[in-house]
A and B are shown apart, each in its own frame.
Chain A
């Protein structure tokens, strides 16, 4: 046990180093492996004529940064949702939030095919995740016992199936199924510097909200009654936390589509490593999420070399067994 915690703190303290090495690996390896010197030149003596330099600046670098950011965003969203709902299964993908985003983006692609600037995508995607969250939470309050882990997972699944069903219907009606499917399943390689640049300010807002609210989420995670008894305005806390989730998940989907399991797995690992205080969980989950998704992204290029594997498939490779393990350990009833 102590050794595990040791590894944990090593991972956290060493995280800047790990992230930089992931960044470098992610830039160096791919369909075309680039030597270190080319990357160096591309970064500091950029030559627009050189194809390799173009690859580094316009494809590899944004992709690597994007993977780290998305991992952090999703993991933080998951951590907030788990703390807020006291539900160990809460996460953007299981709760139908990502499906909401994808739904809004599909609508945008179908009805406004010409408007696909990064900004609009991100806004639509956020509106979509808001819809997803709203539907899931309002259903959960309607159903007796709706907030229990199992029922919330089921409600999330129903909402997700519904939203993605409607998206699929629209897409197949307008005969752009595969485009849409590519859009939200395999987008890592389409990351552009503009997209990342637009996403970063939103991400910072979301992360600041998340960190600011984390202390209150810790109290909330002890239970609604305790939180109220301690004089906390639970509704306000929930609204702010949900806002952070909507922003962070919205950007992630707009950047890279639906990526399952990061928001589920990482917060659990984090809680195991740093304890139950969300002031520590939120930042640590962000760091670990970034590392996890960065690694998955590098891995996704090698699983089926030279083709890329959708990153959602890579995260599922880790996520499904972990999910099964959680169920085995926790069963259906208990709270976080």
Chain B
């Protein structure tokens, strides 16, 4: 069962992935509107002769943004792999579950009704928006569950379709409100809806961390089940797996992680779709290996794209979600073509 060469390959890919991510982090830390040298960055991080302006750039602007990019990328990458495994559909993506749309609609509602009324920089003022997003994501998930649940079973295909339907419903709500907004608010809402991490801060990180810390290990722990789910439903049952229960647990974990990610960074689409495909080409289809690597790939994708989004088009910042889709989709099509040959 435990193929030696598989493990070595896994370790190798993991190492390379992490190194590449570190490189991307280094580049994003040192480059930007205010260039810094490596020595300055290291000194600032290690608190040797701290310079207040370096402190400001590193700790208030760049580092939180990078950390959020990493967390979101990792979360979405893992969730993407789990969702594709659960649905037995290589085209599934966390966005397809309609959760993003729900969270998006909730945020638009928030921006429309409360944007002006909550002031200050207290904990509540900062957290109000992500909390709304979380509530929206969870209620979308609940609705989807309600409609997809059929005679005590969760049919993957139906789940995808219900997700699309609910997603377009929430899309209509966002549309209705967003067209009534003031142009500035609208600009902010679209940037948010297309996925962006520009207003990163440490509070967001603290808010999303518990979800990831609790839910990701559960998914990793259940990874071997995803291999079994690739079999026929009946074979899985005869192996003694409580399919419906396990599916629900995994799905609930996905919903939690996606809602947490969406609530801080908006709809970053395509990470969860592409990362698992890249991963499966590298380490094969065993989910025990796929999940962590997919997470690392997601991390790499988001950190690199975020760097591109904030530097290449200066002075304008493109939403990171758009950068990812511009890079990712052609690559995805290429993957599909190769997979077919």
Contact = CB atoms under 8 A, between A and B. Distances in A.
Question: Real complex partners, A and B?
Answer: yes
Interface of A: 89, 94, 139, 142-144, 149-151, 153-155, 157-158, 161-162, 165-166, 168-169, 171-173, 175, 177-178, 181-182, 185-186, 260-261, 307, 309-310, 312-313, 316-317, 319-320, 323-324, 327-328, 331-333
B147 A313 contact: no
Contact of B161 (A169, A178, A309, A332): A332
Contacts of A157: 96, 164
A237 to B, nearest CB: 25
B187 A327 contact: no
A178 B171 CA distance: 16
Contacts of B318: 169, 172-173
Contacts of A162: 270, 325, 329
Nearest to B180: A307
A324 B143 CA distance: 11
A185 B91 contact: no
B47 to A, nearest CB: 38
B269 interface: yes
A307 B179 CA distance: 11
A166 B160 contact: no
Interface residues of B, number: 54
B165 A168 contact: no
A310 B176 contact: yes
Nearest to B165: A323
18 contacts: A143-B90, A144-B340, A149-B161, A153-B164, A154-B89, A165-B325, A165-B326, A171-B190, A172-B187, A172-B316, A177-B186, A178-B179, A178-B186, A181-B186, A310-B179, A312-B172, A320-B166, A328-B150
Nearest to A150: B157
B162 A320 contact: no
Interface of B: 89-93, 95-96, 147, 150, 155-158, 160-162, 164-166, 168-169, 171-173, 175-176, 178-181, 183, 186-187, 190-191, 193-194, 269-270, 273, 313, 316, 318-319, 321-323, 325-326, 329, 333, 336-337, 340
A221 to B, nearest CB: 21
B91 A154 contact: yes
A158 B273 contact: yes
B91 A168 contact: no
A310 B269 contact: no
B160 A178 contact: no
A205 to B, nearest CB: 30
Contacts of A175: 187, 316
B172 A150 contact: no
Contacts of A309: 176
Contact of A181 (B161, B165, B169, B179): B179
B322 A166 contact: yes
Nearest to A145: B89
A23 B182 CA distance: 33
Q: Which 3 A-B pairs have the closest CB atoms?
A: A332-B157, A169-B322, A316-B172
Contact of B158 (A139, A154, A185, A331): A331
Contacts of B156: 332
A327 B162 CA distance: 7
Most B CB within 10 A of own CB, among A157, A173, A328:
A157
B141 to A, nearest CB: 15
Given A161-B325, A177-B186, A313 B176 contact: yes
Given A158-B91, A162-B329, A168-B194, A173 B313 contact: yes
Contacts of B193: 168
A309 B95 CA distance: 27
Contacts of A328: 147, 150
B175 A313 contact: yes
B186 A332 contact: no
Contacts of B171: 316
Nearest to A316: B172
B207 to A, nearest CB: 26
A320 B179 contact: no
Given A144-B340, A161-B95, A327-B165, A178 B172 contact: no
Nearest to A332: B157
Contacts of A317: 172
B113 to A, nearest CB: 15
Contacts of A171: 190
Given A185-B175, A332-B157, A143 B168 contact: no
A333 B176 CA distance: 33
Contact of A151 (B89, B316, B333): B89
Contacts of B176: 309-310, 313
B194 A327 contact: no
A168 to B, nearest CB: 5
B340 to A, nearest CB: 6
A166 B325 contact: yes
A155 B91 contact: yes
